[in-house]
Amino acid sequence: MAKLPEVVLGNLDEVIHVVDKNMRILFINRAIEHLSKGKIKAEDAIGKNLYDVFPFLKEKGVDKQYERVFSTGRRLRTEEEIDYYGEKIYTVTTKIPIKDGKTRKVITIMRDVTALKKTEESLREMAEKYSTIVELAREGICIDDENERMTFVNDAFARILGYENKEELIGKKLLDFVDNEGKKILNEEINSRRKNKSGRYELKIYAKDGKPKDILVSSTPLIVNGKYAGSISVNLDITELKKAENEMKRALEEERKFKADTAHYFFNPLCIAKGYLVLAMKDEVDAEQREKLKAIINAVERVENVVKNVVIKGEVRE
């Protein structure tokens, strides 16, 4: 095994070993010592039969997997659940043939995914436990994993995104349903959740048919064994509410413009008329004419008060 960069392989987290056709271990890195909690030493395993070191592998049919790789010369990827020294572990294993004309050796790369599997099981159990409540909820409920991919959605959430079959959403990201501005908002919220902070925010999404929708999102991080494992969010479709708000804003703007126009078109001529009347009062006029001018000015001021109340209070009164 002098050709293998053993220093590099020895420091990888994945368990890596090489066997010949007789299933003799030619190389194994030190990751096996961590996986076995010190029960297996790498130097002690070299030269031994694979099934003497790992007797439980035959029970799992791993011997058939090696026979297949040696006979076909094709790599094989499998997932295993193993009772390993009294502890259940999950692994993803890739067996790669080393060819010299024929397949004479196989290098195996084994990754321990126990923590990931336990997280998935915890999330699944959580979803199943509350499935009845969740499905009856009018709000859309979504559970994402640590990579922000959907692992569970209820029917209401699927409807928000325009999907009849909620299973179509599994594995997708909410990031797939927003524009650049939405991505900016989501990425900021994701960073906050990874710091164990909950969030409440509005987001514009684009459903399956491309139609925009507004949702109010309340998201909470899921922490499993002290690590960020994803998030659960409650999503309320506020599209119609936003439309009503926009319609209200439009109506208020029209009202504001109406009042401004009313003030402009009424006050200007009234001010001009009042000004001329005041000037007329300063001329030499008899008592009767002065009283008539006062009455006209008083009438103009009453109209001014009515217009002022219409503009300020929306009331037609003096």
DSSP result, 150-175 = EEEE-HHHHHHTT-SSGGGGTT-BGG
Per-residue pLDDT tens over the stretch 208-250: 999 999 999 999 999 888 889 999 999 989 888 878 777 877 7
The domain made up of 6-112 has a fold known as Beta-Lactamase (3.30.450)
Domain residue spans in the chain? Answer: 6-112, 117-237, 251-313
211 has which bridge partners?
none
Mean pLDDT lowest among 132-146, 194-208, 228-242, 284-298: 284-298
Q: Is residue 248 classed exposed, middle or buried when 0-12, 13-18 and 19+ CB atoms within 10 A define those classes?
A: exposed
Per-residue model confidence as pLDDT tens digits over 263-276: 666 667 767 777 76
Residues 6+ apart with CB under 8 A from 22: 49
102-112 and 87-100 strand pairing: antiparallel
Class of domain 117-237: alpha beta
Q: Are 303 and 270 in contact, with CB atoms under 8 Å apart?
A: yes
With a cut of 80, say whether residue 141 has pLDDT above it: yes
- Name the phi and psi angles at 99, rounded to 5: -105, 140
Do 6-112 and 117-237 come out as alike in CATH topology? yes
